[in-house]
Amino acid sequence: MSDQGGLRAFIAGEVSAAVVVGGNNRTHKLVINARDGSSVTIRNDEPPVAHPRDRPLAPPPRPGPEPLGRQTEFETIARALAAGLPVQVYGPAGIGKSTLLRHAARGHDSIHLSAAGRGVDDLLQELFTARYADIGYRPERLPLRRFLSTVRALLVVDDFAGTAEDLAVLLDAVPACDVLIASPRRTLRSGGRSVEITGVSADVATALIARELGRPLSGPECIDAAELWQASAGNPLTLIQLAAAMRTDGGALSEYRTAEQAAFALAAHLDADARRALGVLAALPGVSVPAPVLLTLARLDHTTGVDLLARLGLAIDDGTGHRLAGSLAERVATLVAPDTAPTDLATTLISWVAAARQAHAVAAVAPVVIRVLRASVASGGCVEAVSLARIVAPVLARALRLDAWGEVLDIGRAAARAIRATRDEAYFAHESGVRLATLGKGTAAGALFTAAITLWRRVGDQHAAAATQAQAQVCGAPVPPMPAAPPELDRGSLELARMLVTKPLVLGATAAIAVAGGLALASFGGMAPRSLPEPPAIIVPTSFPVEETVENVTAPPPPPVPPERAREIPTCLTGDQLDLGEVAVGSSLERSYVYTVAPCHGSGLVPGNAYVVAAQEGAFSAASGDPRCSAWPVHPGEGPCSLVIRFRALYEGRFAAQIVIPEAGTGDPGGQHVVQITAAGKRARPKGVPPTRTARPTSTVTGTTDPTTTATTTTVTTTETTTTTTTEVEETTEGRTATSTPG
């Protein structure tokens, strides 16, 4: 799938791609179809044969100017590598870690990788494909270690921000390699050498400024340079930027003693192209953007503007692309760079992906895509986020970047839920289940397959629900039988269709993924049948589904289900419990549940993807109550976050459910957070009958904290009070309304 037409056909769903994950006589064959959804089968056979490459996939990055004043660090690194020890250099941004790594690697047979925005397993897959021909195979960690045990080189990893556990996984996978890593903080605790990189000395700062100016400094300039050194704490990047301001503006060093003065001087020398490129980089802080993608996002035809940013020290070329160079560059961007809306970046990326020639080219910009997705959701651009996630997700799966695939699916699912694009939410849930099944996590996959089946049936797509059910059975994933739900209006998919009509840029890109000669619901509806009606059309119901009320429920209610019938879900916490009390049949109530992510949640939780496991479908729902916690992982110690839990009494009797907040990316069922919910439905007072003066229970919400965790459990207690006013909450097609009846 290296040619443009092949990748375009794959994105359109006209052809599928098969890859293999696993090893040790047990593999998972993953078949990706962008239109009808992916599938996975378990095979008891040998994995594919991997062949070493004749030459490295890419040359090492250019070293650039030699760092000044780092001789001690060079000698420390050289001694540790000679002793066979892994080395981690760490320090703040702009301190010179990347430059130090490149020069330390000179003279070695080296492999250079950028870990920025990548999970450790995706990083290891990058290493595997750097040394072995791409055969559509992702080994598990044990066979991967055997493959990489034959690689004898210096592995240089820049921008590694993983945990100590991630670093241990990386080091264990490359037993024959010398390893040199740059990180923002120290995570190498034992078995290696950690080298802290701090600011340069005053003499080195003076020499660095002189080198950037191309001439020796005068006596007064040396005094000014010493003051700049003190103000910058010896940060080399800041000193280079100040020298660039003096070189371009022609002023004296004393004129740039503050960042504000330097920012105005640098901003005055940026042309229109440089300002546009700077605006894109400012919208993607901390992310390296490959040159072709940067030109596309900035709508530029040549690199002169980007080159100007690099000369002025406002952009850093790290070998894989350009990224914004520190706080001074951010200040310049606020002065002159045009505002770059995340939704505009998303629509441009859709066009770029649709025109891409190779899957690995798309995989290389996965950190950019994920940053744009998060920014789009945060700014309210969920429609664009769903569109981008739908077109990118299958390509990342094809490239076997399963960490990035999981992040895109998580964000896409949360965005689809926010705009009620039920078909898209079902697609993302199904694909997330397939991904976890591919990784051998059947229990967690079962929960996602269950959510997908519920969503498919909610929109009346029994074909897709059956396909997901069959996939769950193939994987051995636990999925309880579910009755069909009445179809609902898929507002989000209609909004996507409107966006495609009103935004030519997205329409042109999505023409590549439209099928059977038209857009149709299959383009954004996931696993629709391959044969589509002609001409394609979007069918809108003439009315909303009829809501159950006390007046129109005539059939006998189903038997109540006791709380113990709710399916047990593993969790790293002991399990919080929330009793919502009694609610009149046909009415609803909402409660907020507040919690903080605990250390046992590992890579964090995704509150926007919370889902319900219940025997009584339609009785409970949950949604993130805090936009800051909705679309991407919330890491341990962050928060607090809140869930809005909604209960609708369908009949008289007891109800039970479990609200599951999944762990980010890994799908480990032991890392998710579960809330046990109970409630009861009681007979409602018929309309028109005045209430009697009785004691009415009033609910008081209190919070208690489990001393073994950081989660706060919200509970409901009741007290008897005398009142002459009854409040009912009824569901209508217009939404939830509260009415008060005087007693």
Sort strands 641-648 and 87-90 into parallel, antiparallel or unpaired.
Answer: unpaired
328 three-state secondary structure: helix
The DSSP symbol for 587 reads: B
Identify the pLDDT of residue 493: 55
Q: Retrieve residue 110's tokens.
A: 């080296």
Distance separating alpha carbons of residues 358 and 35, to the nearest angstrom: 19
Instruction: Give average pLDDT by consecutive 10-residue segment, the chain, 743 residues.
Output: 64 83 85 90 84 77 86 94 95 91 90 92 93 90 91 93 93 95 92 93 94 90 89 90 83 77 89 95 92 94 93 89 91 91 95 89 94 94 95 95 96 94 96 95 91 93 92 85 58 54 44 35 35 29 29 36 39 65 86 76 74 74 71 68 85 84 61 82 68 42 38 37 34 35 34
Sort strands 154-158 and 193-196 into parallel, antiparallel or unpaired.
Answer: unpaired
Identify the pLDDT of residue 188: 93
Q: What is the largest CA-CA distance in the chain?
A: 96
Identify the pLDDT of residue 511: 41
Q: Retrieve residue 721's tokens.
A: 């009070």
Beta bridge partners of 676: 577, 658
Please provide residue 448's backbone torsions phi and psi, each rounded to the nearest 5 degrees: -75, -40
Considering the domain 48-196, what is its CATH architecture?
A: 3-Layer(aba) Sandwich (3.40)
Residue 707: HSE in the Cβ half-sphere, 13 Å Cα cutoff: 0
Q: Retrieve residue 220's tokens.
A: 């007064």
Handedness of CA 400, 569, 676, 650 (dihedral sign): positive
pTM: 0.70
Let me know: does 655 contact 678? Beta carbons within 8 Å.
yes
Identify the pLDDT of residue 496: 56
Task: State whether CATH 2.60.40.10 applies to domain 563-742.
Answer: yes
Same fold? 48-196, 563-742:
no
Q: What is the DSSP string of 194-222?
A: EEE--PPPHHHHHHHHHHHHTSPPPHHHH
Amino acid occupying residue 277: A
Amino acid occupying residue 152: R
Identify the pLDDT of residue 657: 84
| Tokens 């799938």 found at | 1
Identify the pLDDT of residue 735: 37
What are the boundaries of each domain within the chain? 1-47+341-545, 48-196, 202-267, 272-317+330-340, 563-742
Let me know: does 93 contact 185? Beta carbons within 8 Å.
no
Amino acid occupying residue 345: L
